[in-house]
Amino acid sequence: MKLSKYPYVVQNEILDHMNCSNVFMLSLVSKKIRKLVKSSQRKRLENTVSIKYDCCWPLGSPLVYIQFKENSRMFYSKLFHFIPYGNRSIIESIHNNFLYFFGNSVEYHWITDNYKLPIPRLDNLSVCSRMRLWENFSDMKNVDNFISSHPVWKAIDLGYWLKESLSPESESRFYQTEYINIKQLNRELPAVLRHFQGKQANLECLCEASDLIEFVNRWKSGEAYQKLECLTIYNYREEIPQDEILTSIGARHIDATRKPPAHSVPRAFFEFAYKPNTDPITSHSYVVRESDNRVASVLIQGQTLSFGVWDKTEEEFLGMVLK
């Protein structure tokens, strides 16, 4: 079927009934078709949130999919099932096609679980990694090179069971990652809770009450965590002493008869179809940062501490409390 022989209205109708994968494949045929797709599929394109190159597949061959939002829910659609990893020109061509449609309006993520495979240098591309480093792991030099060689890290999902740390340069890049999800036994290797500079983190580790108190007080003083939006800590060892911590951090409290607002922000990173926002943190306890009067909700339940930073002053925050 030759699309160009049909009137523009018919062309639009045909494209409207094609799935995302076929539309994007068709757009690679020629500049003329690509221009038609961009003009006629504007509504479909504007719902796009991110493009993901998922290399966590055999031989590291990317599965490319598009993530989009409809009715406050996230969905994804596979675009290309297989791209020859070694053929850089194909990857560049596909990526440039995405840039033509979306420019800087969406995020482009390269997701990998293999630190040995190279990552192409593509415009606007940020890197995401899943790694498990067990006690008997013995290739730290290459892991260090992998982490330190990429200036922009979007997300790292890491299981860290080693007794040695990353190199100083790797740790520096690691702590700057926008989103971190880490499981570790030794809270000092790496010392994420103390040095994290990103937006969102989930930590599972062995920690002391003093570690949690230090974390909150450093945020309150404005000494650290300037970009932090939310952080959840799960303590492997035992329940977190709620009264001790809330007293030590100078927590303030909303009247028990009132309903506090629920803290939730857009997720910094997520794969596949999922809720676009973080799990709500609803707590009667909060702290205030000294430098700008910003509020953070503090919720302690069993072995978990949740910390959510509001873009609100204390007065604005209390104005949201329901009677």
Structural domain span for residue 1:
1-46
Rounded to the nearest 10 degrees, the angle between the axes of helix 20-27 and helix 88-102 is 110
Among 115, 131, 147, residue at a domain's last position:
131
What value does the mean pLDDT take over residues 177-197?
88
Say whether both 54 and 29 belong to one domain: no
- Each residue of 58-102: pLDDT tens digit? 665 678 888 888 777 778 888 886 665 666 788 888 899 999 999
What does DSSP say about strands 294-301 and 285-288: parallel, antiparallel, or unpaired?
antiparallel
The residue ranking higher by pLDDT, 215 or 119, is 215
> Exposed, middle or buried: residue 180 (CB in 10 Å: 0-12, 13-18, 19+)?
buried
Q: Does residue 24 lie within any of the structural domains?
A: yes
Q: Does residue 25 lie within any of the structural domains?
A: yes
Q: Does residue 139 lie within any of the structural domains?
A: no
- φ, ψ of residue 35 to 5 degrees: the values are -65, -40
Among 109, 131, 153, residue at a domain's last position:
131
Say whether both 118 and 56 belong to one domain: yes
Total Cβ atoms within 10 A of residue 13 = 12
User: What's residue 211's pLDDT?
Assistant: 93
Q: CA 65 to CA 54: how far, in whole Å? A: 8
- Helix (H) or strand (E) holding 269, with range, is none
- Each residue of 237-278: pLDDT tens digit? 899 999 999 999 999 999 999 999 999 999 888 765 567 889
Say whether both 118 and 81 belong to one domain: yes
What does DSSP say about strands 107-112 and 125-133: parallel, antiparallel, or unpaired?
parallel
The residue ranking higher by pLDDT, 8 or 302, is 302
Say whether both 52 and 82 belong to one domain: yes
Contact 235, 208 (CB under 8 A): no
User: What's residue 312's pLDDT?
Assistant: 96
C-alpha 28 chain-centroid distance: 29
Say whether both 41 and 69 belong to one domain: no
What value does the mean pLDDT take over residues 46-59?
84
How many structural domains is the chain composed of?
2
Q: CA 96 to CA 49: how far, in whole Å? A: 17
Percent of the chain surpassing pLDDT 90: 51
Say whether both 22 and 68 belong to one domain: no
What value does the mean pLDDT take over residues 190-205?
92
Say whether both 55 and 41 belong to one domain: no
User: Residue 66, CB half-sphere, CA atoms under 13 Å: how many?
Assistant: 23
Among 99, 131, 163, residue at a domain's last position:
131
Q: Does residue 68 lie within any of the structural domains?
A: yes
Q: Does residue 81 lie within any of the structural domains?
A: yes
Q: Does residue 138 lie within any of the structural domains?
A: no
What value does the mean pLDDT take over residues 169-181?
91
What value does the mean pLDDT take over residues 9-27?
84
Q: Which of the residue ranges 25-39, 51-65, 276-290 would you say has the lowest mean pLDDT? A: 51-65
Say whether both 67 and 119 belong to one domain: yes
Say whether both 56 and 105 belong to one domain: yes
pLDDT, mean over the chain? 89
Say whether both 31 and 92 belong to one domain: no
User: What's residue 10's pLDDT?
Assistant: 81
Say whether both 76 and 122 belong to one domain: yes
159 — pLDDT class (breaks 50, 70, 90): very high
User: What's residue 45's pLDDT?
Assistant: 86
Q: Does residue 17 lie within any of the structural domains?
A: yes
User: What's residue 15's pLDDT?
Assistant: 84
Q: What is the pTM of this model?
A: 0.87
User: What's residue 273's pLDDT?
Assistant: 54
User: What's residue 127's pLDDT?
Assistant: 92
Say whether both 34 and 80 belong to one domain: no
User: What's residue 63's pLDDT?
Assistant: 83
CA distances from 95 to 28, 43, 62, 103, 109 (A): 11, 21, 12, 10, 11
Residue 247, token pair as written in the block:
């007293």
Q: Does residue 74 lie within any of the structural domains?
A: yes
User: What's residue 86's pLDDT?
Assistant: 62
Q: Which of the residue ranges 88-102, 215-229, 294-308 would you say has the lowest mean pLDDT? A: 88-102
